[in-house]
Amino acid sequence: MDDSRFVKDFLAVFHKFNYRYSKWEVWNDFLYMAATSMANMIPIAEREEREQRYLSIIHKYPEELRECFPELLAIVTLALDANPEQDFLGSMYHRLQLHQEQKGQFFTPYHISHFMAEINMVGVENEELKKKGYITVSDPACGAGAMLIAFANVARAHGINYQKEVLFFGQDIDLTAALMCYVQLSILGCPAVVIVGDSLVKPDFHPDNDVWYTPFYYLNHWRFQSFFAGKEEVREADVVVDKAEAEKYAEEAGGQLMLNFSKAS
Ligand SMILES: C[S@@+](CC[C@H](N)C(=O)[O-])C[C@H]1O[C@@H](n2cnc3c(N)ncnc32)[C@H](O)[C@@H]1O
């Protein structure tokens, strides 16, 4: 699969900011606004705060550059549509040398993630899935989400509809990494919970953590209720949206951003 067209297009738009802004600032602003545009399709408790931050970010930029942000998100979406077997943002992050900002943070090359997902899949479809109707997968140091993306693709290859039958969890101490993961899992239509926080000291739904739910999580969370049963640390506001309500919000917000592979599996 030739991904070079999307890489070229992404860099061409991204470099329009060069004359005035640092790469690091633009990358983080892009991620925050892309993530918020997807998370805010559902009116959860954090919606207003995220909206305000979105507005304060976009207003830093002159009119002619503002439209570059949705263009970047469209290119990421097209790239993942053309080839879902990749960590597009993770590879752009390295290509733009942004890992230097994070003291040499490195993400796993996608083919290795794929291999590891295959190993983890053995036997899964026969046991856990039949028993509960879904399986869960977690990466407590998720980075841009390569491992989780690979798991989604391997699940699909094994006949599991990951958009309905897999609950994804990612956690990362670094906001930039967590939002890369969130944006990619959202686009791929993964029902996912991505948590910003230290998974050693403050794992999962610790009250200090910032929790991001993908749109497909809301569309499917009723399937995973047995997972959340008895977990008092999950705030009620995070799970109250019912199926019909979630579908209505997704439709209003333009569900076209998320790729729907349901028919393929
Ligand atoms: C080597 S990268 C791997 C990322 C991803 N799992 C992959 O395979 O591409 C390690 C990630 O762990 C995160 N990390 C390091 N310490 C952590 C901690 N205590 N809690 C959560 N994340 C952590 C880093 O921010 C970084 O994104």
Per-residue HEC secondary structure of 98-126 comes to HHHHHCCCCCCCHHHHHHHHHHHHCCHHH
Q: What is the mean pLDDT of the chain?
A: 88
Q: Tell me how far the alpha carbon of residue 121 lies from the centroid of ligand 1, in angstroms.
A: 22
d(CA 28, CA 38): 16
Smallest CA separation from ligand 1 atom 6, residue: 142
Q: What is the pLDDT of residue 253?
A: 61
Is 195 in a helix, a strand, or coil?
A: strand
The pLDDT assigned to 239 comes to 54
- pLDDT bin (cut points 50, 70, 90) of residue 231 is confident
Residue 7 burial (CB count, 10 A): 16
Pairing relationship of beta strands 210-213 and 166-172 according to DSSP bridges = unpaired
Q: What is the pLDDT of residue 187?
A: 97
d(CA 67, CA 113): 34
- Which among 117, 106, 108, 113 is positioned nearest to 160, based on CA atoms? 117
What is the mean predicted confidence (pLDDT) over 213-240? 76
Ligand 1: which residues within 6 Å by Cβ? 105-108, 113, 139, 141-143, 146-147, 171-174, 177, 198-200
The minimum-distance atom of ligand 1 relative to the CA of 113 is: 8
Distance, C-alpha 7 to centroid of its chain: 19
Q: How confident is the model at residue 185 (pLDDT cuts 50, 70, 90)?
A: very high
Q: Is the pLDDT of residue 24 over 90?
A: yes
- The dihedrals phi and psi of 169, each to the nearest 5 degrees, come to -125, 130
pLDDT band per the 50, 70, 90 thresholds, residue 124: low
Residue to substitute in 108, 173, 180, 204 for testing ligand 1 pocket (most ligand atoms within 8 angstroms of CB): 173
| Domains of the chain by residue range | 4-83, 110-264
Tell me: pLDDT of 225 over 70.
yes
CA 232–ligand 1 middle distance (angstroms): 26
CB 195 within 8 A of CB 180: no
DSSP 38: H
